[in-house]
A and B are shown apart, each in its own frame.
Chain A
Amino acid sequence: MRDAEIAVQPLHTGRRGSEPLLWLSAGAVVVALSILVLLLALLVIEGMSYFWPRPLLMVEGVAIPTQLGQVVERQPQEVVGVERDGAEAVERLLINRGTGRTGQSPLVWLDDNEIDRRSWPERALVVERVLEPPVFAFLHAIDSGDGPGQTATPFPADLSQFPAAVQLEALEAARLQYPGSSVSLRLVSGEALHVALSDLGQVYAPNAMGWGQKTAFLLSEIAAFLSDPPRQVNAEGGVFPAIVGTVVLVLIMSILVTPLGILAAVYLQEYAHRGPLTRVVRIAVNNLAGVPSIVFGVFGLGFFVYGVGGSLDSVFFADALPAPTLGSPGLLWASLTMALLTLPVVIVATEEGLARVPHSLREGSLALGATRAETLWRVVLPAASPALLTGLILAVARATGEVAPLILVGVAKYAPALPVSGDFPFVHLDRQFMHLGFHIFDLGFQSPQLALTTGRVFATALLLVLIVLLLNLVAVILRSRLREAFRT
């Protein structure tokens, strides 16, 4: 017998043959933790660098036109037919040169060895525009324009000789006093570009910024990202509607899922007898937890949207048909689908909490003459309340990160109308909404110029991960509190 074999082995000469496995399992812990740390670090670095003002690089060379832009990517150059050891490490630069000229692709690859001179001109400006992508250029002048009713501006005819700070000040003054005027910019190619002040977004000179200014800029950019709606087909601007959409979605979902989840958990923990019936209920809970989220989406689309929504439409909104009111994907159906998806999360966490409430509490209450329902309501549920909260938080965390079912039941690429507003009925359950997770998917999967949107996707991902991480941390802390409370 094996046990006998072990027993007869002398203690000190015991085989250590399995020790590598011990070390390997320790290695697995390190790998798992490293993945966590590396992923977080990647998100923080890449997400933050989206807000950090990138320097404007000017490159000149004999073989290439002069370019002014931000370096997007560096890549080791593949030198075809040249022996590697001999050649120097050659790099390729991907530069975003803006869209100053119409029809010009903003991205250009430049070979390192074609560049003769690099400079970071102090006066180079990033000029963001309301309706179009930003341009990188030098400020030439602030014109009054030549339309009637335009007052002449008192600014010098040639602003380009002044330092960047003065230029920006003049621009701010012009914005306040002469909102009808326009600025004339000079592109690095020598062409002039006129932009009306009303079309002008933020203008800044990244090369002239110090660390303090850059940090302040970073913070203001983050604030704008959180509070602005997206512009230019989601390529610029903030993610405010997506945040609101996500929050409203999980709020409605919480209202729907909490009572049902708690009741079901109470049934399993307090009322169910051990028997085949209870086993069936448990199997149902586990299947709800294990059915792929996309299947819930399919069910939600078919059953809620087309089935229930379609029938409600034909009863209540028959005049609007064939245009669907509730029979199209929207907030209500998305929340319901998410509630189904997160139901097992609430059940499992609540059950765990109920199991930790000592039996003596229940027995005491029953012995004093309370009914089962009263015991539950007055004694057990209050004692387990941190667990209920934990369940809810975990459900919210799960719903915040889940995207697949939303693709089917109500999320929109771009929905400027928020699902909440001041008009009756305040929460618009039939509206489509934006969602942080879907925003990531949409930008990352369907964006035409990926290199330009990657930073934005990372920033959104960072925001999403931080929210979910925070929720999870709160849940962990609450749970350990509960454990401490009933430790005997």
Chain B
Amino acid sequence: MPVDSLPTSRKRRVYDRAAALMIKTAGFGLVALVLLILWYLLGAALPLGRAVHIGAPVSVELRRQTAAPAADGAAPGSSRREVSIAGPEGWELDREGVFRCGEDGDVRPLPRRVATPPVAAVLAESGNALLVLDAEAKLHRFAAASCELRSMGPARSQPAAADTLLGEVNRPVAIVLAQSSGRVRILNSASGTLLFDGMLPAYQEATGFALAADGSYLQGRLRSDADRVLRWPLINLYPEAGWRSLWAKVWYPGYDAPSFVWHPGNEGVGSLPKYSLTPLLFGTFKAALYGMLIAIPIGLGAAVYTGYFLPPRLRNRIKPAVELLEAFPTVVLGFIAGLWLAPLLSDYLFLLFALPLLLLALPVLLAVSQPLLPRSPAGYRAPSRIVTVFLAYLLGTVALILAAPGLEHMLFDGEASDWLLNVFGVHYEQRNALLVGLAMGVSLVPTLFSIVEDAIFAVPRSLSDGSLALGATRWQSLARVVLPAASPAILSAVLIALARGLGETMIVLLATGNTPIMDASAFNGMRTLSASLAAELPEASVGGLQFRVLFLAAVVLFALTFVLNTLAELFRQRLRYRYAGR
């Protein structure tokens, strides 16, 4: 019976088309979804890049009484020599550029690098830094805390004719204006990032420039009309978040040297909020790499043994069992590591060193001793390797725990943590990278194991049979035939696990002290991008600086994992096509 002659065939064909369309839409919808996530995160972080800009000028009539919120620093008509600053430690810089300090007001020279006489100066960064624009149009930054005027960072050249430093209000921006040419530069005074460099629109019409006390606009008197002023709104969004503040070392007031600091303070009030993503990125990698250090030997070793050496019956039991490790939510692992294991480990630190050694040494010992042992008598079946190793581990661990106090005393002459401190100068923190590594290792093992085991098992048996028939040992066949064949999958498993480790949140949150330090030592903690997101985003004000910086952190995390996962998928596709014809 021809299909098309059915009375309902037209309807059915329409249904078929509709279903196909829906299914294809769903498929491509996934791509759209990933792009949407990336686009949205980027969109939320991008305004950071447009930190400051200057709007079109507005002409405002000046009423004498209420006028000039800004003009306190700028005497009408003269914008030069407007230097008169009293520092917090009793020093004074007067209008002529004379620097006085001490109880008697001794005149002292300005630091030699300043080309005298200075053109302008302001006290910036909540009174912690003195910015001086010198005669050579260089902007210097000094710590204002004492008469020494310690230099903080290199001098930064400004446009040749720069003649006014208009100041800094409550956010760390220095605004430099070249009055003759109308060129304005706005810098982040702490990091030196140039936030804006351009012409002040219609600057010729005004003179006697000044900055509003709240930093919201620039103002100049109109040349044509003495009673009117021109105001340029200063759209001052995220001046703290220049490229340099986010990623490079910045010399903040109160610090001895330029450093990477993540310290989200109150926005705009008091001390500067400090958003360096570098320590967070460092912590992210540190946590992930310690996790991989634990996960790779266990995951790969177990996968190799299960996929290649175990008989099918055992394999069908052991594989799902190992994969059940996935059933431990990371919050549970993090909690066990942070609250149960951490105090235990600091008391039994010695075991932490000794146990891995034991776990490595025992199988080697078994392997070496096996040929030396007499052959088991006929009719007696030797226990399988797994059972042998298990028994050895059990006995070894019990013996180690019993012998631990004595051994520790003998080897470390007291407590292992004291020994660490005395010999290496390492202070043992209770919640440290090793702990995170252990917990994260456990959470990454099932991922690694599952992919690698599948790949090894999928390598055609004929390959290794051929190798065995040629006289290779089982391990040789594995290492030279099976593993190379499965290597793309192994590589992709490692990349996927690494990506998971980079994004892991709960373990890091619970098992470290979350201090943003940059120290690769295994015995102290870290703060990761993900932990910062989880801990700080709920409290950040929507659209504020911290909110945007955290979205940028999410973009970084997304980009990192995107690269790793895409690479992993490409490797895996290679493998899929390699054996597709089987």
**Interfacial residues, chain A to chain B (CB-CB below 8 A):** 2-3, 6-7, 9-11, 14-16, 18-36, 39, 42-43, 46, 75-76, 84, 260, 263-264, 266-268, 270-272, 279-299, 301-303, 306-307, 340, 343, 347, 369, 371-374, 376-377, 397, 400-404, 407-408, 437-438, 440-441, 444-445, 450, 454, 457, 461, 464-465, 468-469, 471-473, 476, 480
Contact = CB atoms under 8 A, between A and B. Distances in A.
Residues of A contacting B: mostly: helix
Contacts of A454: 339-340
A465 to B, nearest CB: 6
A228 B3 CA distance: 63
A30 B37 contact: no
Given A19-B475, A285-B30, A298-B41, A292 B503 contact: yes
A28 B301 contact: yes
A282 B570 CA distance: 10
Interface residues on B, range: 35 or more
B390 interface: yes
A34 to B, nearest CB: 7
B506 A404 contact: yes
A6 B472 contact: yes
Contacts, number: 338
A437 B331 contact: yes
A457 B347 CA distance: 22
Contacts of B27: 263-264, 267-268, 271-272, 281
B386 A29 contact: yes
B298 interface: yes
Interface stretch (B104-112, B179-187, B241-249, B319-327): B319-327
A209 to B, nearest CB: 27
Nearest to A28: B301
A85 to B, nearest CB: 8
A248 B476 CA distance: 53
A288 B335 contact: no
A260 B29 CA distance: 9
Given A18-B476, A22-B474, A290-B564, 9 more contacts: A2-B480, A20-B367, A20-B368, A268-B27, A287-B566, A404-B330, A440-B332, A444-B339, A465-B328
B464 interface: no
B359 to A, nearest CB: 6
Interface stretch (B126-134, B254-262, B515-523, B533-541): B533-541
A291 B37 contact: yes
Contacts of B534: 294, 297, 404, 407-408
A18 B471 contact: no
Contacts of B373: none
18 contacts: A16-B473, A27-B360, A29-B301, A31-B298, A33-B322, A263-B22, A284-B31, A287-B562, A292-B561, A294-B503, A295-B554, A295-B561, A298-B551, A401-B329, A437-B329, A471-B327, A472-B327, A476-B320
**In the complex, the 5 A-B pairs of residues with the closest C-beta atoms, listed nearest first:** A292-B503, A28-B301, A401-B329, A267-B27, A263-B26
A310 B240 CA distance: 28
Nearest to A14: B473
Given A290-B564, A295-B558, A441-B506, A468 B301 contact: no
Interface stretch (B13-21, B61-69, B271-279): B13-21
B367 A22 contact: yes
Nearest to A347: B30
Interface stretch (B87-95, B137-145, B207-215, B304-312): B304-312
Contacts of B472: 6, 14
A43 B504 CA distance: 22
Contacts of A291: 37, 503, 558, 561-562, 565
Contacts of B6: 369
Contacts of B570: 283
B445 interface: yes
A42 B298 CA distance: 21
